[in-house]
Amino acid sequence: MDKSKRFTTGEIIKRENITHDLWKIWLKIDEKFTFDPGQYCTVGYEGIERPYSIASSPEEDLVELFIELVPEPDGILTPLLYNLYEGEKVTLRKRAKGLFKFQNDFENQIMLTTVTGIAPIVSMMRSNNLDKSKHNIWIYEGASYIDEFGYLEELIGLSNNNKNINFVPTCSRPDDPKNRDWNGMTGRVNDIFFDVFKDINDANKDNTIIYACGHPEMVSDIAEKYSEKYTFIEEKFWTA
């Protein structure tokens, strides 16, 4: 098959380093690129391709990604992407993919994420084409270190400005000196969201959905505990 039919090009227009191993890039795509909030794109460089959830909303001009470095020798694409700055180009499959999308039918939306797993949720929250006003939304984000919360200010602002949206970042290593300034929630994300279920009891199970995205152990743990009782969708970023 003619490669040009499947691939397009994304130019890095902006890059922001978040920590020594986390960064964001904004891509200008060569041609019209459509996706639904929550979906992922397939990025390639030197013929190596990996999926990345899109953090921007479809209404934005640039496609924003939030990436974690997996150092060599394990990581293959991320050590290459890590060295790319403004002006450099990656390939993109023309079609975005994924079923991890906002499910409008559920009044209660519980979204559990770790570090880069927040990306598809940010896309959903930014998109004006999704009406979130009639939903109760809880966004939980877990990280070992507080500087790994890539969208902290944006999501705190969203939560402060919308009574129906609650953002709960939680730090799993509160005793580490790097986290000494943290006075928010502590613990692993899969252990701390149970207070939500004080309000969501069995009577609500038909109008409640749980999303889990990011670290495979967190996702598996939540799936094991809740997927039989509640509608559940997941996106594991790698296999444990």
Ligand X SMILES: Cc1cc2nc3c(=O)[nH]c(=O)nc-3n(C[C@H](O)[C@H](O)[C@H](O)COP(=O)(O)OP(=O)(O)OC[C@H]3O[C@@H](n4cnc5c(N)ncnc54)[C@H](O)[C@@H]3O)c2cc1C
91 and 12 Cβ atoms separated by less than 8 Å:
no
Whichever of 51 and 174 has its CB closer to ligand X, that residue is 51
Our finding on whether 15 is near ligand X (CB under 6 A) is: no
The answer to the question of residue 66 lying near ligand X (CB under 6 A) is: yes
Say how many CA atoms lie within 13 Å of 18 toward its Cβ: 20
Grouping H, G, I as helix, E, B as strand and the rest as coil, residue 213 is strand
Q: Which of 13, 62, 70, 84 binds ligand X (CB under 6 A)?
A: 70
Q: Which one among 14, 16, 205, 238 touches ligand X, defined by CB under 6 A? A: 238
From the list 19, 86, 78, the residue with the least C-alpha distance to 43 is 78
9, 19, 30, 51: which one binds ligand X (CB under 6 A): 51
Piece in contact with ligand X (CB under 6 A), picked from 23-31, 75-83, 101-109, 190-198: 75-83
Closest CA to 66 of 237, 186, 184, 193: 237
Residue 116 found at the interface with ligand X (CB under 6 A): yes
The sign of the CA dihedral 234, 75, 23, 181 is positive
| Interaction site with ligand X (CB under 6 A) | 40, 50-53, 66-68, 70, 74-78, 98, 116, 119, 235, 237-239
